[in-house]
Amino acid sequence: MTFLVLCFFGGISPIGLTPKAAYLDNVKTFRGTEMVVSVQYPNVWIGPNAAFWIRHGALFAPCLRSDHKINVMLSKQDYQTSDPLGCCEVEARNTAGTTTQLQCYEYTYNVGYWLSIECSLRPAGANNIAHILKPCCYQLTGECKLTTHQHCTFLGGYYHAQGPEHCSKVNCLADICGVGGLSMQADPETPYMPTRPNQWWRLLISPFYHNGILHLILVLIPQLLFAVPIERMAGGVRLFFIYFVSEVTGNLLASLFTPYLPHLGGSAAVCGLISVQSIELAQSWVLVQRPHKLILKLVAILIVFLLSGTLPYLDNFAHLGGFVAGSLAAVIFLPYIVFGQWHSRRRRILLILAIPSLVAVLSMLLLLFYVVQAVDFCTACQYINCIPYTLYLCNSTWYNPQPSV
C-alpha cells in the first residue's frame, strides 16, 4: 500500500528502453532566449523516476558518504567564496541574476551591467529588471547553474526561488537527497560542499521500495514461493535476518559499481532466498520428493533475475551479492538436520567458516564503500549489468552516470 501511495505522488515515468530528447523553446538566459534540451530516461518497471526514489530514501551512495568524485566536481567549479556577489542585469532582455563580476561579463558576453549588491537586495525603484535567474540543482550528482524556474522544472531540477542566489551558496546534494536535508550539512566556508553525509538509515528502508509495479511483482512471486516455506521451517526472526543481510550486502556491492544510481527493492534478498533454498535442498536431498524439479524451479527464477539485472535500475551485482550473502546466512541461521556424528561435525565446521566469512564480506564492502570508493578499474563489468537491447540502452549516462569531473 505504501508503495502504491508513493507511486501515486511520484507519478509514472515514460515507459520504454530508449531515452528521448525533449526540447523547450523561448527559455530566457543571460544571452537571450534559447532552445534547451533535456534527455528523459524512461522507467521500464512502470514507476517514478530515480530522483523521486532518492528523495524518499532509496540507497544512493553520495547520501551516505563523502563522495570523492562529487567533491572533485564541486572543487572544479572554482567557486571563490571571497569574491563579492552582485546583481548582473541585462536590461535589453529584462533578465537578472546574482553572480560575481567576472561571471557577469562571461555569461552575458560583456553586455551585462554588474551592481555590487545581490539582486534581492536592490532598493525599490532600482529593481525593475526581473530577477529570474536563480540556482537550479539538477542531475543526480547535484550539479548547479542559474536558470529560470521554467528551465529548471524542465530539467527536473530543484529551483531555489528563495534563499541563496548563487550556486556557491547552495548545497545541491541536500536537495538531491531530500528528506529535509537530514544529516546533510555544509561547511560555512564552502556552503556548496556537503560535509560528512551520513544517511545510513537508507540501508534499512530501501529494501521496502521498488522501482515500479513490474519490479514489485517480480519480487513478490518468488517471495511467496520461497519465503513462506523458509518461515515455516526456520521462523520469522531467522527469515528476517537472512532477508536483511542478503539485501544489504547486495545493495552495497551494487553501489560500488554504480554509485550514482539509486538501489532499492528486494531483488538482492530474493536471490538470497534462492541461495537459502539451494543450501536447504543440498542438506535434505534424501528427504525431498522430486528434488530435480525444485532445482529447475530455482534455476529458472535465478535466470529471470539475472536477465532483469541487464535492464536499467536493476543490478546484477546486487543479485550476486545477495546470493553469496544468502548462502552464508543460510548456514548460520537455518536449523540443521543431523543424521549422525559426521553431520554434526560438518555443521560445526561450516559454522566456523561461515560466520567469519560473512563478517569479512560485510566489513570489506563497508571499507570499499566508505573509504576506497573507486572501483571503475573493471571496464568489462558493464556487460554484467547491461545488454544493449536498444541503441542507447547501455549509454553510460543512463546505466552508470558519473559526476562531471
pLDDT in the model for residue 26: 92
pLDDT in the model for residue 340: 61
Amino acid (one-letter) located at 163: G
User: Under a CB-based contact definition with an 8 Å cutoff, are residues 274 and 302 in contact?
Assistant: yes
Rounded CA separation 261/322 (Å)? 18
Q: At 215, is the pLDDT very low, low, confident or very high (cuts 50, 70, 90)?
A: very high
Assign domain 202-399 to its CATH architecture. Answer: Up-down Bundle (1.20)
Angle among Cα 331, 334, 339 to the nearest 5 degrees reads: 85
pTM: 0.89
Q: Is the pLDDT of residue 266 over 70?
A: yes
Sequence ranges of the domains in the chain:
2-76+131-195, 202-399
User: Under a CB-based contact definition with an 8 Å cutoff, are residues 136 and 144 in contact?
Assistant: yes
User: Under a CB-based contact definition with an 8 Å cutoff, are residues 159 and 175 in contact?
Assistant: no
pLDDT in the model for residue 400: 65
Report for 4-18, 170-184, 280-294, 307-321: range of highest mean pLDDT: 307-321
Bridge partners (DSSP) listed for residue 95:
90
Average pLDDT over residues 185-206: 84
Average pLDDT over residues 209-226: 92
Rounded CA separation 95/32 (Å)? 8
- Condensed to tens digits (0 to 9), the pLDDT of residues 337-374 reads 655 666 677 778 888 899 999 999 999 999 999 998 87
pLDDT in the model for residue 342: 64
% of residues, the chain, pLDDT over 70: 91
Q: Is the pLDDT of residue 376 over 60?
A: yes
Non-local CB neighbours of 78 within 8 Å, separated by 6+ positions? none
Stretch (H or E) spanning 90:
strand 86-90
User: Under a CB-based contact definition with an 8 Å cutoff, are residues 12 and 48 in contact?
Assistant: yes
Q: At 85, is the pLDDT very low, low, confident or very high (cuts 50, 70, 90)?
A: very high
Instruction: Find the distance separating the first CA and the last CA of the chain, reported in whole Å.
Output: 40
Q: DSSP states of 225-282 as a string? A: IIIHHHHHHH-HHHHHHHHHHHHHHHHHHHHHHSTTS-B-SSHHHHHHHHHHHHHHHH
Kindly report the average pLDDT of the chain as a whole number. Answer: 87
Non-local CB neighbours of 279 within 8 Å, separated by 6+ positions? 327, 330, 331, 334
Rounded CA separation 190/188 (Å)? 5
Distance of CA 283 to the CA centre of its chain: 38
Q: Poorest-confidence range of 46-50, 149-153, 397-401?
A: 397-401
Q: Is the pLDDT of residue 80 over 70?
A: yes
HSE, CB side, 13 Å, CA atoms: give it for residue 325: 31
C-alpha cell at 126: 532600482
Q: Is the pLDDT of residue 19 over 80?
A: yes
Rounded CA separation 190/270 (Å)? 43
Helix runs in 258-340, H state only: 267-283, 291-308, 316-333
- Condensed to tens digits (0 to 9), the pLDDT of residues 151-195 reads 999 999 999 999 899 999 998 888 888 775 555 677 777 888 888
- Condensed to tens digits (0 to 9), the pLDDT of residues 86-113 reads 999 999 899 999 999 999 999 999 999 9
% of residues, the chain, pLDDT over 90: 47
